[in-house]
Chains A and B, each alone.
Chain A
Amino acid sequence: MKVVGITLENLTKKFGKVVAVDHINLKIEDGEFVTLLGPSGCGKTTTLRMIAGLETPTEGEVYFDGKSVTDTPPHQRNVAMVFQDYALYPHMNAYDNIAFNLRMKKRPRDEIRQLVKETAELLKIEHLLDRFPAEMSGGEKQRVALGRALVRQPVVFLLDEPLSSIDTKLREEMRSELIKIHEKIKTTFIYVTHDQVEAMTLSKRFAVMNYGRITQFDTPMNIYNKPLNTFIASFVGSPTITLFTGKIVRDPTEDRLLFKGEGFVYPIPKSLKLSEAIVGTKITLGVRPEDVSVSKLRKDEGISTKIYTREPRGDETILSVKFKDVLVKAKVHPESGFQVGEPVIVTFKKVYLFDENSKLFARWQP
Chain B
Amino acid sequence: MVLDSIKKRSRFKKIVIAILSVIIVIFLLSPVAWMIITSFEEEDLMFRRPPVVLPNGPFFLNYQFIWGTFISEEALEWGYVLPGSVPGVLAEARGMVQSVLNSLIVATITTLLCLAVGLVAAYTFARIPILGSTKLLFYIFISRMLPPIAILIPVYVLFRTIGLLDTLASIILMHASFAMPLFVWILFVQFKSVPQSVEDSARVDGCSRLQVLTKILIPIVKPGIIAASIFAFMMSYNEFIFATTLSQSAGSRTASATVSALAFSVGRYSVPLIMAGGVFAILPPILIVLVFRKTILEGLVSVFRR
Contacts and interface: CB of A to CB of B under 8 A. Distances in A.
B198 A89 contact: yes
Given A91-B219, A91-B220, A104 B197 contact: no
A144 B254 CA distance: 53
A362 interface: no
A74 B203 contact: yes
Interface string A117-152: 000000000000000000000000000000010001
Contact of A80 (B204, B216, B219): B204
A245 interface: no
B201 A104 contact: no
B220 A52 contact: no
A87 interface: yes
Contacts of B204: 52-54, 74-75, 77, 79-81, 158
A54 B203 contact: yes
Contact of A75 (B203, B216, B219): B203
Given A83-B197, A85-B197, A104 B203 contact: no
Contacts of B201: 81, 83, 87-89, 148
Interface string B163-205: 0000000000000000000000000000000010110111111
Contact of B208 (A49, A73, A87): A73
A308 interface: no
B190 to A, nearest CB: 12
B200 A75 contact: no
Nearest to B205: A101
Interface residues of B, number: 17
Interface in A278-319: none
B304 to A, nearest CB: 17
Given A54-B200, A83-B201, A89-B220, A75 B207 contact: yes
A96 to B, nearest CB: 11
A53 to B, nearest CB: 8
A81 B200 contact: yes
Contacts of A148: 201, 205
A90 B216 CA distance: 9
Nearest to A84: B197
B203 A101 contact: no
B206 A105 contact: yes
Contact of B200 (A73, A83, A152): A83
Contacts of A84: 197
A45 to B, nearest CB: 11
Nearest to B198: A87
A266 interface: no
Interface residues of A, number: 26
Given A83-B197, A85-B195, A87-B195, A104 B220 contact: no
A86 to B, nearest CB: 8
Interface in B213-230: 216, 219-220, 222
A120 B208 CA distance: 27
Contacts of B220: 89-91
A323 interface: no
Given A54-B203, A89-B220, A75 B197 contact: no
B198 A90 contact: yes
27 contacts: A49-B200, A54-B204, A75-B206, A75-B211, A77-B204, A80-B204, A81-B200, A81-B201, A81-B204, A83-B197, A83-B200, A84-B197, A85-B195, A87-B197, A87-B198, A87-B201, A89-B198, A89-B202, A89-B220, A90-B220, A91-B222, A100-B202, A104-B205, A104-B207, A104-B211, A148-B201, A152-B205
Interface of A: 49, 52-54, 73-75, 77, 79-81, 83-85, 87-91, 100-101, 104-105, 148, 152, 158
Q: Which 7 pairs, one residue from A and one from B, show the smallest C-beta to C-beta distance?
A: A104-B206, A87-B197, A87-B201, A83-B197, A101-B205, A75-B206, A74-B203
